[in-house]
Structure formats: C-alpha cells, structure tokens
Chain A
Amino acid sequence: MRHSPITTKRTDPLRAMGIIALNGMFGEDDTDGVIRKAVEMFGRDLAVVSSFGADSVVLLHQVAAVDPGLPVFFLDTGKHFSETLQYVTDLKARLGLTDVRTLVPDSKDLERFDPEGRLWENDPDSCCHIRKTEPLNAALEGFSAWITGRKRFQTAERGILPHFELTGDERVKINPLAYWGEDDVAAHKKAHDLPEHPLFADGYTSIGCAPCTSAVQDGEDARAGRWRGLNKAECGIHFDFNGEIAPAEVKNGPVLFKKGRFVADPFKPLAENANLKGVRYVHVPLSKVKDNLAAIRQNPHPLGLLIESSDRVEDVAGELDRFSSVAISFPAFGDGRGYSTARLLRERYGYRGEIRAVGDVLTDQIGFMVRCGFDAFVVANDATKRALEAGELAEVSVYMQPVGLTEVPVGTRPFLRKPGKPVTRRP
C-alpha cells in the first residue's frame, strides 16, 4: 500500500469509527440514502467531484435529485475533448445543477512544467498532478467531505470500495455508486432517459483528457482506454482506496535543466529486468541496445539512449533516429569523453533530439557542454543548481574556435572566433 505525505495528521479514532460505522447503515444500492446522509451531515461543507465522463451523469442525476445546489467541481485540465466541455454545459442545464465550478491548473505551474502542453506525452503522472491533483487539492481545502462517482467494478484496485471513507487528510470521501455495476449504470441511464456523453457511442467507456483516452475494445476493462500502455490506472485524484489524495511526487524539485529552466523529467530509471519491447521513457544503455536490437526496434514507445563514457556512439549510429533523448554520462567531472560523443552525435550523425548530460555535472562544464551540443542537464549538485537558477555560469563570452554546426556561419571572419552565447539560450 502506498503512503502519501499527507498521512502525517493523526486520525481521531472515534471519528474514524463513526465514519466507518456509517457503512453499515445503508444498503448497497441505497445511493439516494447515502447522498442524503452526506448532505445531512455536512450541509454546504460538501462538494461533488465529477469528470463529466461517460458515466458521470448517473451520480450527478442523483445528486441533483437531493440537492441541485451542491457545489460540483469539474477539472478543466485544458486537455479535454470539446465534446466533454459541451457535455458539461448540457448536463448542467438538463439536471438543473446550480453550482458547477470549473477548476483550472495554475498558470505558473503550466508555464514552469509544461510550457509546450506536452507533458502528458512523457510524464502523465506529473501532468495529472499539475492539472488535476493540485487544483483539486486547493479547491477541497474549504470542504470537509466530497462525493465521487467511483465504482468497485471499474478497476481491480477499486474492488473493496466502501460508501464512506475517512481520508488521511481528515476528509470524508463518499462513494454513493461504490456497488454499482455496468448494467446498473446502463439501466439507470435508460430508465431516466439521461443524455450520453457524445463519445460514448464511439466506444469510449471511460473518458478523461483527450490525449490519454482511447476507445476500449470489447471485453477489455472499462478503463483500459485510459493511459493505454502506461502503468497508470488511476489519476492522482482517485488514487488509493484508503482515500489519501496521492500527489505525484516532486521530491526536491526537478533536476532536469532545459531551455533555461528546471523542468519535470519525463524519463525514469530503467528497471533491472524491464522488458525492452515495452518500456517507455527510460534511457536504455547503449550496450543493451546493441544486444537487443530487435526488441528496441519493436518497441513502439518513446525511448532514450544512455551512452556511458567508454561507449562508442558509432556502434548504434543506425539506431539514433529511434531515440528521443540521449543521455551522456559523466562519471567524473574530469572525464571529458562525453564532449566528443556529443559533438559526434550532433555533427557527424545529425542527431536532433535532446542530448542530456548526466552524472558529475558542475557549473564550470556547462558552457563547454552547450557548445558541444548538449541541451539538457541533470544536475544534482546544489551549488550548480543555484547557479543555473540564478543564470550565473562560469563562461567566457567569446569563443576562440568553431565547434558544432552553427557557431561559425560560412564566410564569417575572423576565421576562428565568435562571441559566445549565454548558456540559457533556447536552442
């Protein structure tokens, strides 16, 4: 079981007992009773969170029947299908919900971690964190309890979901639909003639953000279309049935410096016996690539290449296009082999993807590294981090020799020299 940092608060045992006892008071199908009890207990201290996805209408319909004025949070991640946004408007009108609140991600977070809006591509955990978990956490600050539409059948992890949970942050989470099955959902929709999500007919049974949702094949788990291919079944907001809100981890802040700022790193360490056919967003060591060419070629996911300082980039020259990132290792400050490797990648093999320096990366090297073709730096050293954040780099402002493809435009004189560029430029 995973623990999140929020569990540090001690739960009042009496309160916990009381909440758990509620679970015995309602029949499995007494959705209405559960909602009424919640409203009775918490009044305006209660909110509903809905994705306005394929099944959301069922919960919203029953909530509206009890109290159409309950605040309903919708996470507008900025990544939704336009159909979903339309559906929000439609349902609001149809059900008479009077307090639907749209939550948007923090613009500073977006600017910092996802300036291009493509974080989902390589780091969905972080993407969900800034687009869902953070805004929701902030919104829920003012509420003691919230209602979700989660159901036991949806995925294996939700198999023992109760009606009432006390979460680690002393909030009560209420799951009125916990015992509902797929058939119940369909029947309820039909019985009340509720409007379907426009995409439901196209095979989307669980609808989240557009980039992370695909149609589900017959016989597949209903949520199989979410984060397809990733080891991700739950969005941060629903993680862990014990009800802890599990924020994606951002430990001591990101260590990947790119384009003049520290950004979230999509790449993860490669697990010991990972299946190279299926891994994604890991840097595969060059020797492994050489030994497992077939698997690497079959792997449809974004991959990186790790070049140790004793590796020869020549050995995988034909495969370079396949990698979206190359990590060049600096086992020690003074080991300069990686500079040659980077130049060969850029100048000889025309590699255009990210080249990142990993290992012993210090301030004094970064200027040299940039000139050799590096455009990303994994920085562990604190002083170097501070220097990079402050834009203070040990670098001389003129170059005495041409290096790389761009430093000296043809025909430029004097022959060998040119002004340096600040290292924080955007390549």
Chain B
Amino acid sequence: MYRYDEFDLGFVSGRVDQFRDQVRRRIAGELTEEQFRPLRLMNGLYLQLHAYMLRVCVPYGTMNAPQLRKLAHIARKYDRGYGHFTTRQNIQFNWPRLQDVPDILEELSEVEMHAIQTSGNCIRNVTTDQFAGAAADEIIDPRPVAEIIRQWSSLHPEFTFLPRKFKIAITGAPEDRAAVRFHDIGLMAQEDEAGEVGWSVYVGGGMGRTPMIGQRIRNFVPHEDLLAYLESVLRVYNRYGRRDNKYKARIKILVHEEGLATIREQVDSEFEKVRGGILTLPEEELSRIRAYFAPPQFVLSDDRFNLADLKRNDAGFARFVEYNSHPHRQAGYTSLTISLKPIGGVPGDATAEQMEVVADLAERFSFNELRVSHEQNLVLPHVAIRDVRAVYDVLKEYALAEANVGLITDMITCPGLDYCALANARSIPIAQDLARRFGTPERQAEIGPLKINISGCINACGHHHVGHIGVLGVEKKGTELYQLTLGGDASESAAIGDILGPGIVAEAVPDAVERLVQTYLGLRETKDETFIAAVKRVGAVPFREAYLAT
C-alpha cells in the first residue's frame, strides 16, 4: 500500500493548518457562510439536513488497519459512534461539530488520510476495483496507476474550477467491478498486440439526471502517456464543457452534444502536443510507486474450499463462502467481502466497534490490508483459505457475517431524506423493508445474483440507473413516491435501466419488487440464468406488465 513521504505529509498538514484558520475565522464571524462554503467544500465538509457532514477520502478504496481504527476513533470521539461508507469508496461522518473538524482532519493526517477534493468541481477521488491486486482475473494491479493519478490530480491548478465535478475510475480486470463506464473517465486495462499492457479509455459516462454510458475514446494508451492523455481530456473538458447550466455541465453532455468523433479529434490534437512532455511517466517512477503495492508474502498452499462438503455440514458458513468470497490470484487465498448490509440495517453503516473488529481481522488475516467497495462493503483482500473460518467466526460475533454479497439484499443505498438536503424521499427505510421481505437465506439463494440500487433523488448517488432493479425517490404533490427501473447494469456489459411505469408509494415498493422477482423466477430458463441475463433475453415487457398489474 502507498506510504506518504514527506511531500504528502507536508501537503496534507499544510491543508489542515489552513483549514483550522478558516474554521476559526468562521466561528469568530469573520467569514460568512457564503464565504466559508467554498473553503469548507474544498475540505470535504458539507452542510446537510441536520448537521455538517465530513467526507473522508479513502484513495481508490484502499486502507490499512490503523487507518480504519482511526476512523473508528473519530466515529466514537467526534460523531455518534458510526460512519457511513459510500459508493465513492469514501466514508462520511454525519454529525461532526464544526469546531471539531480541524482536529478530525489533524487526526486523519496522522494516519495519512484527508478530505481534500471529496467535493467541488475538481477531479475527485479515483475509484477502482475493490479486488485490485488480488483478483484472479486481473491483467494488472491498477492501484499504482491510481496512486499516480491521485498525485497528479491533487489540487491541480488548471483543473480545480472545472465546469463540474470529475470522476475517474480504473480497473485492471476484464470483469468491470468499478463501473468504469459510468464515470467521466473510465480506464480499463488492455493488452496491445505486442502483449504490452496499457489503458483503454472511456469517456462521458455518468449517472445523475442524464445517465449515459461512457464511450471508448481511445483503444490503447501506454502507461507512460496516460497522464498526458488525461490532461488532454481534462483540458478539452475544462475549455469546452458547458458552464451555462449546472445540469448540463458534466463531460457526458459535452460528448453527447458534440459527438464522440469531435471530442476525440480535440483530445487527440491536444494529446499530440502534450505527449512526450513533462507528464511522460518514466518507467522507474512507475516501478517506484509499484513497489508500494508489491504483493504480500503469501504462504504457498493449495487449499481450496469444498463447497459441497460445507453445505452439508455448515450451511451458514457455506453461504458465507459461496457469496462473500472472491477468487484470488494466489492459490490458497481468497478475498472476503464483509457485508455492511445486515438485514434491516442501514446499508453502508459501520459502528466504531465493527470498524475496530475489521481492522483487527485485517491485521491478523489480510496482511494489514482493507478495501472499501463501491457497493458500500468492506473487503479483506488477502485471506488464506484456511483462515476463513476463523474470520467468519469473529464476523458473526459482531453481526458482520451477512452472507448476501451480490444478492438481492446487498443493496446500494444513498442516505436519502434521512440525511440529505436534496432528497425527495427516504431511501434507507425502503432498503430495510426490501431486506426484510427477501432476507431469508433460502429466498436470497433462490433468487440468486440481483442488484437493487436505491436513490433518494435524481442525483442518483444510490446508482439506481445501474441497478438490475433501480428505485428512485421522486416527489409528487408533496408525497414521496418511488419510480422503479429495470435492466440497469454497471458491469462491462453496461446498461441504463428503463423506467417501468408511474411512481408508487413506499408501502407498495416491496410488493412491486416481489412481482418482478416472481416474473423472473417464472421465466428463467435454468437456475443459472441470472435476473439480469433473463431481462436481457426477454426484454422489459413481461416485467412491465407485472409491475403495472396491481
């Protein structure tokens, strides 16, 4: 994992001092909220429905045990004992007091964390595959490049006042677990004819009120040219992205309005000029950063799970293994997802105690490494198969062993009206109702992989557009209503869900989902045909009929 050097330290602590002074001036009344706003936003501090919210950056979702322990400490000392992991692979604290924020930031800096660039119209935290550096199907570990992008984009003087926020996702595996085609720029590892690994670049993806799937703008960019290429895209966007309308300001609209060919031409012409310049990434530098992400000292073994056996003897544990483990590139190891979606709980929330437990497990069983997934779960990336049982036992004790990863109750859910000032409707209670409805292990197992994503408003923080079933809070004449979408897909076969019909009230959502699920169960060809595969095969019609038939 990347370690700060004196540069990063200077950078981060400089920021803390600066913000401490700004907070002091705000509290002393020297700054109005209006003047303070851009300053606090630059430090990840939002004003929400009830209180300030601090968004702390977890660079490309990678953490170590001391960092998670520090987050636990902050949750306990400055907040109400819990934190909320987000789809941006970040963590949010919902109840910090303004005067404490400089102290929080200072404590974070002690473990090399910060809240810089978690908001504002700048390049946001780069996100990646939560199994980066561990997944069996990986072509290349994307984290070194993600780290280099993090450095390049940190307070970039040219790109701090973009038309709108800018999100970059990067994945090193062919199976897209980072939803790269729903980001402003998506990078996907790619091998050229010579077997050289580089990056295939997608541009103009995004969700929000105008969801769009990113289009491939360049097939192959070698490592050494990647920053130059990114700078070219950003410059074109900074200069020509719309600034007249906040809702049309993302790069997806530029690409959509100008056409991919035009944007490609502009980017290429820019790239031609900056390529080979100061941003050329020397191989030694890449290796230097890569060394931080060297694989841990794995113990050679050919342990593997015997699922059939487990199922007979230990059904609970078997389910955990079946759903929460992910194939590791090292024989004898697996990546374990710790679900933060307990039935009836708040998706993405973790208590201070839970964080500490997970931190301990990471230290003991995962080479001190941790990940946050954009599905709002935590991951122990490198667990020896022989240790999984021990891990499971601890998790169980702390209500962290929910075996539902990728299943219907593993929902992505935004904070919604319970916290968010922009919300039309509640999201968390919907998730809780759905979890209760479908939460039995048998039911979930029968339905199989199915993603339900819930957003409290059109801003789509809950990624409803890419839910196999999406739930969107809308407001009609003062009542909270929910619109359902079908067929969204965040993976490499990206798709945006179609609206099924008119909005329905909260109480009707579980029944409506039930009808969709029943439709699927009725028409799937085999037990192996997943919900999304069935939808893609038969289309929306039978589902729409089911949705409308009340």
Chain A interfacial positions (CB closer than 8 Å to B) = 312, 333-337, 339-341, 343, 348, 364-365, 367-369, 371-372, 383, 394, 396-403, 408, 413-417, 419
Closest to A365 in B: B161
Beyond contacts A398-B7, A398-B11: 19 other A-B pairs, Cβ-Cβ < 8 A, are A335-B161, A336-B158, A336-B160, A336-B163, A337-B238, A340-B158, A340-B238, A340-B239, A364-B42, A368-B157, A372-B158, A394-B39, A396-B15, A397-B11, A401-B152, A401-B154, A401-B156, A403-B157, A403-B158
B541 within 8 A of A: no
Minimum Cβ distance to chain B for residue A334 (Å):
5
When distances are taken between beta carbons in the complex, the residues of chain A under 8 Å from B148 are 416
Interface string of B1-38 (1 = CB under 8 A from A): 00001010011001100100000000000000001001
Q: Which of A336, A365, A367, A403: most chain B Cβ within 10 A?
A: A336
Contact B157 A372 (CB under 8 A): yes
Interface string of B150-173 (1 = CB under 8 A from A): 011111111111110000000000
Contact B285 A367 (CB under 8 A): no
Contact B279 A402 (CB under 8 A): yes
When distances are taken between beta carbons in the complex, the residues of chain B under 8 Å from A419 are 10
Minimum Cβ distance to chain A for residue B435 (Å):
41
Given known contacts A368-B157, A396-B15, A400-B155, is B278 in contact with A336 (CB within 8 Å)? no
When distances are taken between beta carbons in the complex, the residues of chain A under 8 Å from B39 are 364, 394
Given known contacts A414-B5, A415-B281, A416-B151, is B10 in contact with A398 (CB within 8 Å)? yes
When distances are taken between beta carbons in the complex, the residues of chain B under 8 Å from A312 are 239
- CA A408 to CA B273, docked complex, whole Å: 18
Given known contacts A336-B162, A394-B18, A416-B152, is B282 in contact with A400 (CB within 8 Å)? no
- CA A201 to CA B156, docked complex, whole Å: 63
Minimum Cβ distance to chain B for residue A400 (Å):
4
8 A-B pairs in the complex with CB atoms less than 8 angstroms apart: A335-B161, A339-B158, A340-B238, A364-B39, A372-B157, A397-B10, A398-B7, A419-B10
Given A372, A396, A403, which contacts B14 in the complex, CB threshold below 8 Å?
A396
B121 within 8 A of A: yes
B209 within 8 A of A: no
10 pairs of A and B residues whose beta carbons are closest in the complex:
A336-B161, A368-B157, A371-B157, A400-B154, A415-B285, A339-B158, A417-B7, A396-B14, A401-B152, A398-B10
Q: Which of A335, A383, A398, A414: most chain B Cβ within 10 A?
A: A398
Closest to A394 in B: B18
B235 within 8 A of A: yes
B264-323: which residues lie under 8 A (CB-CB) from chain A?
273, 278-279, 281-282, 285, 288
When distances are taken between beta carbons in the complex, the residues of chain B under 8 Å from A396 are 11, 14-15, 18, 155
Given A333, A397, A416, which contacts B38 in the complex, CB threshold below 8 Å?
A333
Contact A400 B11 (CB under 8 A): yes
When distances are taken between beta carbons in the complex, the residues of chain B under 8 Å from A371 are 157
When distances are taken between beta carbons in the complex, the residues of chain A under 8 Å from B278 are 402, 408
- CA A402 to CA B239, docked complex, whole Å: 20
When distances are taken between beta carbons in the complex, the residues of chain A under 8 Å from B35 are 383
- CA A340 to CA B152, docked complex, whole Å: 16
B97 within 8 A of A: no
When distances are taken between beta carbons in the complex, the residues of chain B under 8 Å from A341 are 239
- CA A411 to CA B307, docked complex, whole Å: 55
Contact A414 B158 (CB under 8 A): no
- CA A400 to CA B122, docked complex, whole Å: 15
B243 within 8 A of A: yes
Contact A367 B157 (CB under 8 A): yes
- CA A369 to CA B10, docked complex, whole Å: 21
- CA A403 to CA B239, docked complex, whole Å: 17
When distances are taken between beta carbons in the complex, the residues of chain A under 8 Å from B243 are 335, 337
Closest to A407 in B: B278
Contact B152 A339 (CB under 8 A): no
- CA A70 to CA B86, docked complex, whole Å: 86
When distances are taken between beta carbons in the complex, the residues of chain B under 8 Å from A397 are 10-11, 14
When distances are taken between beta carbons in the complex, the residues of chain A under 8 Å from B156 are 400-401, 403
- CA A334 to CA B156, docked complex, whole Å: 14
Contact A401 B151 (CB under 8 A): yes
- CA A397 to CA B239, docked complex, whole Å: 27
Total interface residues in chain B, CB < 8 Å: 37
Contact A340 B153 (CB under 8 A): no
Given known contacts A397-B10, A408-B278, is B15 in contact with A339 (CB within 8 Å)? no
- CA A159 to CA B239, docked complex, whole Å: 56
Contact B11 A333 (CB under 8 A): no
When distances are taken between beta carbons in the complex, the residues of chain A under 8 Å from B238 are 336-337, 339-340
Interface string of B32-58 (1 = CB under 8 A from A): 000100110010000000000000000
Contact A343 B7 (CB under 8 A): no
- CA A419 to CA B5, docked complex, whole Å: 13
Contact B14 A398 (CB under 8 A): yes
Contact B282 A415 (CB under 8 A): yes
Closest to B120 in A: A334
Contact A364 B7 (CB under 8 A): no
Contact B11 A334 (CB under 8 A): no
- CA A217 to CA B230, docked complex, whole Å: 61
Given known contacts A364-B38, A394-B18, A401-B151, is B7 in contact with A336 (CB within 8 Å)? no
Contact B279 A337 (CB under 8 A): no
Closest to A339 in B: B158
Given known contacts A396-B18, A398-B7, A401-B153, is B273 in contact with A368 (CB within 8 Å)? no
Closest to A368 in B: B157
Closest to A419 in B: B10
- CA A383 to CA B39, docked complex, whole Å: 15
- CA A163 to CA B444, docked complex, whole Å: 108
When distances are taken between beta carbons in the complex, the residues of chain B under 8 Å from A413 are 285
When distances are taken between beta carbons in the complex, the residues of chain B under 8 Å from A367 are 157
B124-172: which residues lie under 8 A (CB-CB) from chain A?
148, 151-163
When distances are taken between beta carbons in the complex, the residues of chain A under 8 Å from B153 are 401
Given A333, A343, A416, which contacts B158 in the complex, CB threshold below 8 Å?
A343
Minimum Cβ distance to chain B for residue A93 (Å):
63
B188-208: which residues lie under 8 A (CB-CB) from chain A?
none
Minimum Cβ distance to chain A for residue B227 (Å):
8
Closest to A313 in B: B239
Closest to B235 in A: A340
- CA A348 to CA B239, docked complex, whole Å: 15
- CA A413 to CA B279, docked complex, whole Å: 13
When distances are taken between beta carbons in the complex, the residues of chain A under 8 Å from B18 are 394, 396
- CA A399 to CA B18, docked complex, whole Å: 15
Closest to B238 in A: A340
Minimum Cβ distance to chain B for residue A422 (Å):
13
- CA A229 to CA B218, docked complex, whole Å: 56
When distances are taken between beta carbons in the complex, the residues of chain B under 8 Å from A369 are 157
When distances are taken between beta carbons in the complex, the residues of chain B under 8 Å from A398 are 7, 10-11, 14
Interface string of B227-248 (1 = CB under 8 A from A): 0000000010011000100000
- CA A382 to CA B152, docked complex, whole Å: 33
Closest to A411 in B: B282
Closest to A416 in B: B151
- CA A414 to CA B285, docked complex, whole Å: 8
Contact A417 B158 (CB under 8 A): no
Contact B160 A368 (CB under 8 A): yes
Q: Which of A333, A396, A413, A419: most chain B Cβ within 10 A?
A: A396
Closest to A342 in B: B158
Minimum Cβ distance to chain B for residue A297 (Å):
27
When distances are taken between beta carbons in the complex, the residues of chain A under 8 Å from B161 are 333-336, 339, 365, 368
Given known contacts A340-B239, A401-B151, A408-B278, is B157 in contact with A414 (CB within 8 Å)? no
When distances are taken between beta carbons in the complex, the residues of chain A under 8 Å from B42 are 364
- CA A336 to CA B243, docked complex, whole Å: 10
- CA A397 to CA B14, docked complex, whole Å: 7
Minimum Cβ distance to chain B for residue A390 (Å):
13
Minimum Cβ distance to chain B for residue A29 (Å):
69
When distances are taken between beta carbons in the complex, the residues of chain B under 8 Å from A368 are 155, 157-158, 160-161
When distances are taken between beta carbons in the complex, the residues of chain B under 8 Å from A417 are 7, 11, 151
- CA A402 to CA B148, docked complex, whole Å: 12
Minimum Cβ distance to chain B for residue A310 (Å):
9
When distances are taken between beta carbons in the complex, the residues of chain A under 8 Å from B288 are 414-415
Closest to A335 in B: B243
